[in-house]
């Protein structure tokens, strides 16, 4: 047990300094009054929380949950076969894994600009379709929810594939063969054997995709054309343009509470949180 404590100590110190202490500051902020031009002032108040009871913000929360949910499911559906392929590719698996993550070592902004270039009216897709005579007027591919979800799925796919790979990789090929020998079709093997065995990976991936998607703001600005607000935008605005830090802190605590509730709800009975 001594070893366990020694192993936990560095991260406990780090998380206390970089997470819990700042969180305490956020809680304090959320209970103060906004300074006229940013920052916080006395007196203490709970008004920032009572302001949250407003259908406008409720609708924004629901919308954000919906978009994050769709993006997570799509990441799982698209990422699972890819993770299976990599896990089953023998000696080349490290190479294939790197190829998944390589595009993400360019800046987010640059990748997103590339997608805008593909999707816009004079972009590649529309130009090709028009020159083939399939369409006459350009399709409105950019600046809608579809484009936002595409951007999220693209941006977070590796966050699903990597944890899935980390659990799939240890799957015993003999187990899959046994399943096949016993007469299971390939998809039956996937559903009955592979999926249950890599449940921890699916859960980890879903968390790493869903939670950041919930707080996203740049994707909806750039690919959604800023025509809608998600919770991430709302929080971001309070800390920048609106200069209302206490309300931003309260909004953010609400977002964090909802995300934590969902995480607790998603875990199975008697299991550890992580």
Residue 163 near other proteins by CB under 8 A = yes
Alpha helices in the chain (DSSP H): 2-15, 21-30, 47-50, 55-87, 93-101, 108-119, 124-131, 145-168, 173-181, 186-189, 195-197, 199-214, 218-222, 231-239, 245-266
Q: What residues contact 62, with CB distance under 8 A and at least 6 apart?
A: none
- Which residues within the stretch 216-255 sit at the binding site for other proteins (CB under 8 A)? 217, 221-222, 224-229, 231-245, 248-249, 252, 255
Among 129, 139, 184, 263, binds other proteins (CB under 8 A): 263
Site residues for other proteins, 83-122, by CB under 8 A, read 84-86, 88, 91-111, 113-118, 120-122
Q: Which long-range contacts (CB under 8 A, 24 or more apart) does 102-107 make?
A: 104/155, 104/158
In angstroms, the CA 60 to CA 251 distance is 11
| Shorter beta-carbon distance to other proteins: residue 195 or 260 | 260
Residue of 8, 175, 178, 191 interacting with other proteins (CB under 8 A): 8
Residue 12 sits in the site that holds other proteins (CB under 8 A)? yes
Residue 273 beta carbon to other proteins: minimum distance, rounded to whole angstroms: 5
Q: Tokens at residue 77, please?
A: 């559906």
Considering beta carbons, is residue 110 or 132 the nearer one to other proteins? 110
Of 64-72, 128-136, 208-216, the window that binds other proteins (rule: CB under 8 A) is 208-216
């Amino acid at each position: 047990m001594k070893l366990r404590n020694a192993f936990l100590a560095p991260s406990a110190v780090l998380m206390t300094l970089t997470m819990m202490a700042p969180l305490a500051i956020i809680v304090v902020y959320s209970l103060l009054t906004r300074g006229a031009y940013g920052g916080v002032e006395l007196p203490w108040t709970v008004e920032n929380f009572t302001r949250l009871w407003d259908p406008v913000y409720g609708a924004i929360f629901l919308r954000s949950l919906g978009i994050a949910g769709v993006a997570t499911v799509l990441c799982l559906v698209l990422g699972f076969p890819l993770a299976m392929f990599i896990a089953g590719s023998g000696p080349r698996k490290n190479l294939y894994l790197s190829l998944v993550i390589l595009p993400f070592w360019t800046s987010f902004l640059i990748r997103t600009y590339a997608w805008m270039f593909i999707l816009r009216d004079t972009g590649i897709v529309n130009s090709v379709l028009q020159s083939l005579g399939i369409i006459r007027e350009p399709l409105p591919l950019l600046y809608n929810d579809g484009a936002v979800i595409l951007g999220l799925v693209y941006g977070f796919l590796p966050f699903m594939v990597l944890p899935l790979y980390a659990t799939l990789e240890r799957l015993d090929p003999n187990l899959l063969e046994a399943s096949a020998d016993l007469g299971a079709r390939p998809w039956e093997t996937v559903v009955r054997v592979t999926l249950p065995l890599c449940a921890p990976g699916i859960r980890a991936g879903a968390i790493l995709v869903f939670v950041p998607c919930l707080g996203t703001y740049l994707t909806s600005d750039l690919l959604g054309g800023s025509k809608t607000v998600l919770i991430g935008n709302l929080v971001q605005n309070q800390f920048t343009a609106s200069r209302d830090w206490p309300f931003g802190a309260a909004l953010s605590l609400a977002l964090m509470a909802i995300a934590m509730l969902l995480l607790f709800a998603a875990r199975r009975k008697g299991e550890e949180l992580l």
